Each structure stands twice: as structure tokens, then as C-alpha cells.
């Protein structure tokens, strides 16, 4: 019991470092700008009723929204507190899953915690634009940690619990967990003792229940009015719009820049797999090599199905995001291989294994790191090598050395390595603007930020003020889901944002249903009266709508 409590405390401590220090977490920096308006509108249908985002919600086949609403009702907290609490819990579960994977590969508890800490530094998957730890509390960020937990539980032959974890992930974000179930069904065909195969069947009961729950929820949940054909093809206008606004799905736009990065990572995985293959169980072997292989194969598959056959479902499934398993397992297997090499007194080999382990979170790209990051990676690899040697040698101070090896990367990489995962977006002027709009304008008011260009601050305003934004760049990211949304977004963008703001013809903005124009202070209108201003923004009314 004492050992389990110590391990649990260590996993909790690593999760705290992962969440609050590095890679960290964010709010309204990315996709929460999409999900929060949808949730707020479900909670109160009068809020954001005229916003394009809530007119086309894409949460019909997920329990992400229902869970958040139920938790808000139970706890009486705001969505931010509810979602971030979920985010922390799911991260802890995913980190525990990696601990189970590491111990299944035959390393001791202290070395498994070292592997967990290295993995918890995160990785940015360039090209497909995804993360091993999503900074924001979004469905993928909840489902992916459960993916690693399901692998870890399966590696320890806890198949029912693995099925429960993977089924919960399926209810939250089915595209993320689909590869797990694909490989698990292959695993069911693997030869083995009848009793062993029956135990594997236990994992399918939770999945059957999850499918039934999702089917029932989809029947009772109101539709958004747009039917999506399973085998529909993108028309030329959709393709052009998606390539412009959601280029991460289009392999031809980025593969030349990043292909060698992922091939090198896959080579690291193959070499580590060969070194550790005697330590693998059949189930773990399948996942550790097949998932990175699927990541590499996702590139030609995505290119064929999307860019040649124009299958409209592909931008929603986003198969290229399977590439996230290449850096993830390069870190896990590389760290375990280093531990094994130290145990065999092959310290130079161990040092070489540790280089990609720290280069992945410290540089985003396995090639051409800056000089300061080379120094950071080398220092961390040496510190880790020393700590692993101390643990293998059973030194009395091994825990102190390992604690340093676990803690230091979380501070050194963002500090001396200058790794910044997300830029500062929130500021007092934006908060004050949102507070004013929420208190002094009608709930139905529509705002436009015509000089925001591709900046993300209008999306922050939308959520904090709970007022509709006529059009902004972030909303365009939803062109993957609905054709009508893409057409409407692009029409609004061209009419109000693409051309320079024209203060001499405000009627065309007013005729579009816009109530207030928000300009940066440097672009203030000479001779016009602002109804609100601060050091960064001026707000001009286009209608005579009374205050709320």
C-alpha cells in the first residue's frame, strides 16, 4: 500500500508540473474558442444566438458537451472550472497509463517514473497541427490520455478496464480512439490460449454499451439542420477554402518540410523496438510498433483519399494526426532503451538514446536545433544518464538524483531553451472591453472587429462577453465540418475583413446585421463618437439598439 501511495503521489506531482509548468495549459487560445460558445448557447439559448459558430455545432456524436453541462449543474461552477478539472484528471490518467506501459517493459518503479516524466514534457506534431498533450480542455485532449491508459492497462492484461477507458474515450472523441479499437480487433485474432482470448473479449462489452449510448444520444439531440453524406466528395470551392483555412489536413502543403522529421522518429522507434523486443508482450508489441507505422502510412492514405478522391469525411477524421504516436513512442521507447543500456553498462549508447527523448519536447523538430537547445538537450541527457545509473546501482541518493532528473527539464526547456508553446493572448484591455459589452449591450448584439485580421482576440471577446462576433479567423477553422458554414464564413470574411475597413460606408456593415464596430485605438475614427474606449480599443455603434 505504501508503495502504491508513493507512486500515486509521484504521478500527481508530475501531472502538476505538466499542467502548470511545461508544456502547460491554456484557455481561449485555440479550440476552446469554438467549443465554449457552443456550450454557452446550449446552457442558455439566448446567448450568442446570432453567432455563426452556434448555428453549426459539431458535437452531435460526442458526450463532451453533455458531460460538461451535467458537471456544471452538479458543481455550480463555470464551464472553465469544470473543463479544466476534467483536463487535469484525464492528463493524470494518461500519465498513469504511460507508467503502466513502462513497467510492462520491465523497468523498475523509479525508472518508470523517469520515463513518465520524459513523456510528460509533451511534443508538438508539426504539419498535422496536433499535440501529445492538448493545451486546452477539448475532446481530443480528453480522449488521447485515455488512449495511453487503455494501452497500459492492456499491457498489464487488465482487459476489462482497458475496454472501459477506450470506450469512455470513444464517447468523448471517436476519431482519436478509433485506431485503438482497430488494433484491438486485430489482437483478438492473435493466436493464444482460449482462456486468454476470452479475457480479451471482456473489453468489448464496454464498447457495445458506449455504441448504444452514443446512438441514443444522437437520436434525442437536436440536429443542426445540415445533413452530411458519408461518401460525399468535396467540390472545388470547398477544396480551395479548406486548403486556405485548414491546410494542416492537406499533406501536399507540408510533407516536404516535415517528412524527414517523422521518418527519423520512426527509425528511432524501430531501433528501440528491436532492442527491447524480448520485453514485449504480444498485445504491447502490436500497439508500440503498429501505431507509429499507422502514423507514417497515414500520409499516403490521407493524400489518396482527400487530395485525389476528395472524400469529404477525411478533413473531419484527420488521419494524419496519427503521426503524434511517432514522437510519443520515440520518447517512451527511447527512455526505456536508455535504462536498459545503462543496466548493461553501455553508457554511450544510453546517452544516444536520451538525445531524441529530450530533443522532441525541446525543439519540435528532430533536426537543426538552435545552439542553446543543443546545450539544453545535452545537459538533460547527461543528468538523466547519471540519475538512471544511480538508480541501477542502488545508490542511497538515487532518489535525489532521479528527482533532479525529473524536475529540471520542466524548467530548463522553457527557461534556457526558450520553448514557448503558446503566445500571450489575454490582456486587461480586452477583459475590460468584454466586461463593458456584457454589461452594457443587448444579449442579441453582434460585434465586428474589422482590423483584427487573423488575430485570435475576437474569439476571446466572444466567450468572455457572451456576445456574437459577426466573423473572425478562428471560426473559419470549422470549414472542415459543414459546407454551408464554410460558404457563409467565407462570404462574411470577404465582405467585411478581406477589404480594408471603410468608415465612409458604414451602411454596408449595418445592413449585414452588425450592431457595433470595434477598432484598435490606432485606427480610431476621426470625428466619430465612441460609446466605449480604453487604451487599446474604440467601440462605435451602428444601430440605435438600447442597452440591456
Q: pLDDT by residue (tens digit) across 508-518?
A: 888 889 999 99
CB contact set of 282 (below 8 Å; sequence gap of 6+): 187, 190, 192
Distance from the Cα of residue 132 to its chain's centroid? 7
The 3-state DSSP class for residue 469 equals: strand
Q: How many CB atoms lie within 10 A of CB 488?
A: 16
Write down the pLDDT at residue 547.
41
Residue with cell 528527482: 403
Strand order in the sheet with 468-469: 468-469, 446-448, 516-520, 537-541, 532-533
The DSSP H or E segment spanning 51 is: none
Residue 541 β-bridge partners:
516
The label of the residue with cell 538508480 reads 391
Backbone angles phi, psi at 539, to 5 degrees: -115, 130
The pLDDT, as a whole number, for residue 370 is 86
Rounded (5°) CA angle 90-63-75 = 65
Q: In angstroms, what CA-CA distances link 163 with 90, 91, 497?
A: 16, 18, 48
Residue 58: the pLDDT is 83
Q: Give one DSSP letter per residue of 487-508, joined into a string.
A: HHHHHHHIIIIISPP-TT-THH
Phi-psi region of 336 (alpha: psi -120 to 50; beta: other; left: phi over 0): alpha
Pairing of β 446-448 and β 468-469: parallel
Instruction: Assess contact for 242 and 480: CB atoms under 8 A.
Output: yes
CA angle in degrees (0–180, nearest 5) for 138-143-147: 150
Give the model's pLDDT for residue 224: 57
Q: How far apart are the first and last CA of the chain?
A: 59
- What is the per-residue pLDDT for 510? 87
Cα-Cα-Cα-Cα dihedral sign, residues 10, 90, 147, 33:
negative
Nearest to 437 by CA among 344, 545, 288: 545
- Asked whether the beta carbons of 318 and 145 are under 8 A apart, the reply is no
- Who contacts 511 (Cβ-Cβ below 8 Å, separation ≥6)? none
- Of 544, 537, 493, the C-alpha closest to 517 is 537
Beta partners for residue 76, in sequence order: none
- 86-130 residue pLDDT tens: 999 999 999 999 999 999 999 999 999 999 999 999 999 999 999
Residues 281, 103: Cα–Cα separation, whole Å: 12
pLDDT band at 214 (very low <50, low <70, confident <90, very high): confident
Q: How confident is the model at residue 491 (pLDDT cuts 50, 70, 90)?
A: very high
Is 223 buried (19+), middle (13-18) or exposed (0-12) by CB count in 10 A? exposed
pLDDT in tens, 384-412: 999 999 999 989 999 999 999 999 999 99
Predicted pLDDT at 501: 80
Q: Which pLDDT value is given to residue 546?
A: 40
> Which pLDDT belongs to residue 216?
86
Res. 223 pLDDT band, cuts 50 70 90 = low
Please report, for the chain, the start and end positions of each structural domain, with discontinuous segments joined by +: 2-30+61-222+232-412, 428-541
- The Cα 207–Cα 166 span in angstroms is 8
Find the mean pLDDT for residues 66-72.
96
Which residues are 311's β-sheet partners?
A: 233
Task: Give me the pLDDT at residue 229, please.
Answer: 63
d(CA 313, CA 460): 29
Read off the pLDDT of each residue in 196-219 and give the average, rounded to a whole number: 85
Q: Which residues pair with 533 in a beta bridge?
A: 538
Task: Write the pLDDT tens digit of every residue in 293-311.
Answer: 999 999 999 999 999 999 9
pLDDT score, position 198: 74
As a whole number, mean pLDDT of residues 347-366 equals 94
At 203, give phi and psi (nearest 5°). Answer: -70, -20
How many Cβ atoms sit within 10 Å of the Cβ of residue 401?
A: 18
Q: How would residue 499 be classed by pLDDT, with cut points 50, 70 and 90?
A: confident
Nearest C-alpha neighbor of 182 from the set 69, 267, 301, 93: 301
DSSP string, 26-40: -SSSSTHHHHHHHHH
Mean pLDDT over 338-353 rounds to 97
Residues forming a β-bridge with 516: 447, 541
CB 22 within 8 A of CB 451: no
Closest CA to 448 of 538, 509, 532, 527: 509
* CA–CA separation, 109 and 99 (whole Å): 8
Residue 372: count of CB within 10 angstroms of its CB = 12
The least confident of 2-6, 234-238, 499-503 is: 499-503
User: CA-based Rg of the chain, rounded to a whole angstrom?
Assistant: 25
Q: Which residue has the cell 520515463?
A: 115
**For the residues of 114-160, what is the DSSP string, one character each?**
HHHHHHTT--EETTTTEESS-SS--HHHHHHHHHHHHHHHHHTT-HH
Helix (H) or strand (E) holding 448: strand 446-448
Q: Which residues of 253-262 are buried (b: 16+ CB within 10 A; e: fewer)?
A: ebbeebeebb
* pLDDT for res 194: 62
CA distance 488 to 495: 11
List the alpha helices (DSSP H) in 189-310. 194-201, 204-220, 236-245, 255-276, 282-302
CA distance 64 to 81: 15
pLDDT over 70, % of the chain? 96
Amino acid at each position: 500500500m505504501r508503495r502504491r501511495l508513493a507512486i500515486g503521489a509521484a504521478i500527481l506531482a508530475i501531472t502538476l508540473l505538466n499542467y502548470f509548468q511545461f508544456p502547460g495549459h491554456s484557455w481561449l487560445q485555440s479550440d476552446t474558442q469554438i467549443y465554449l460558445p457552443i456550450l454557452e448557447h446550449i446552457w442558455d439559448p439566448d446567448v450568442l444566438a446570432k453567432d455563426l459558430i452556434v448555428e453549426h455545432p459539431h458535437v452531435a456524436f460526442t458526450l463532451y458537451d453533455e458531460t460538461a453541462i451535467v458537471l456544471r449543474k452538479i458543481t455550480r461552477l463555470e464551464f472553465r472550472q469544470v473543463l479544466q478539472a476534467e483536463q487535469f484528471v484525464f492528463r493524470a490518467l494518461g500519465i498513469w497509463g504511460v507508467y503502466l506501459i513502462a513497467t510492462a517493459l520491465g523497468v523498475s518503479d523509479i525508472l518508470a517514473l523517469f520515463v513518465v516524466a520524459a513523456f510528460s514534457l509533451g511534443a508538438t506534431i508539426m504539419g498535422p497541427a496536433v499535440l501529445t498533450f492538448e493545451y486546452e480542455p477539448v475532446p481530443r485532449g480528453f480522449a488521447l490520455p485515455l488512449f495511453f491508459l487503455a494501452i497500459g492497462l492492456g499491457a498489464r492484461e487488465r482487459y476489462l478496464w482497458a475496454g472501459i477507458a477506450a470506450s469512455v474515450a470513444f464517447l468523448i472523441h471517436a476519431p482519436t480512439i478509433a485506431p485503438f479499437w482497430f488494433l484491438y480487433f486485430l489482437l483478438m485474432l492473435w493466436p493464444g490460449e482460449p482462456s486468454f482470448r476470452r479475457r480479451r473479449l471482456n473489453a468489448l462489452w464496454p464498447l457495445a454499451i458506449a455504441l448504444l449510448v452514443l446512438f441514443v444520444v444522437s437520436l434525442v439531440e437536436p440536429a443542426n439542420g445540415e445533413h452530411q453524406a458519408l461518401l460525399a466528395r468535396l467540390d472545388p470551392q470547398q477544396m480551395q477554402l479548406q486548403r486556405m483555412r485548414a491546410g494542416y489536413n492537406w499533406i501536399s502543403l507540408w510533407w516536404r518540410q516535415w517528412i524527414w522529421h517523422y521518418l527519423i522518429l520512426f527509425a528511432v522507434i524501430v531501433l528501440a523496438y528491436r532492442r527491447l523486443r524480448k520485453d514485449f508482450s504480444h498485445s504491447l508489441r502490436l500497439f508500440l510498433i503498429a501505431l507509429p507505422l499507422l502514423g507514417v502510412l497515414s500520409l499516403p492514405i490521407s493524400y489518396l483519399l482527400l487530395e485525389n478522391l476528395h472524400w469529404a469525411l477525411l478533413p473531419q477524421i484527420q488521419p494524419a494526426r496519427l503521426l503524434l504516436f511517432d514522437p510519443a513512442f520515440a520518447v517512451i521507447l527511447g527512455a526505456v532503451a536508455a535504462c536498459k543500456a545503462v543496466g548493461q553498462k553501455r553508457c554511450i549508447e544510453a546517452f544516444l538514446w536520451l538525445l531524441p527523448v529530450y530533443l522532441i519536447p525541446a525543439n519540435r523538430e528532430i533536426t537543426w536545433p538552435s545552439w542553446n537547445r543543443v546545450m539544453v538537450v545535452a545537459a538533460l541527457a547527461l543528468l538523466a544518464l547519471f540519475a538512471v545509473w544511480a538508480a541501477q546501482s542502488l545508490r542511497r541518493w538515487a532518489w535525489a538524483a532521479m528527482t533532479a532528473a525529473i524536475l529540471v527539464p520542466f524548467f530548463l526547456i522553457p527557461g534556457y531553451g526558450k520553448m514557448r508553446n503558446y503566445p500571450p493572448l489575454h490582456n486587461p484591455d480586452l477583459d475590460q472591453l468584454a466586461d463593458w459589452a456584457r454589461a452594457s449591450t443587448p444579449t442579441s448584439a453582434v460585434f465586428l472587429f474589422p482590423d483584427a485580421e487573423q488575430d485570435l482576440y475576437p474569439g476571446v471577446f466572444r466567450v468572455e462577453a457572451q456576445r456574437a462576433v459577426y466573423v473572425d479567423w478562428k471560426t473559419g477553422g470549422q470549414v472542415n465540418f459543414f459546407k454551408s458554414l464554410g460558404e457563409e464564413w467565407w462570404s462574411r470574411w470577404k465582405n467585411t475583413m478581406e477589404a480594408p475597413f471603410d468608415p465612409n460606408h458604414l451602411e454596408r456593415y449595418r445592413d449585414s446585421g452588425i450592431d457595433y464596430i470595434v477598432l484598435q485605438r490606432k485606427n480610431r475614427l476621426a470625428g466619430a463618437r465612441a460609446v466605449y474606449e480604453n487604451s487599446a480599443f474604440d467601440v462605435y455603434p451602428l444601430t440605435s439598439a438600447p442597452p440591456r
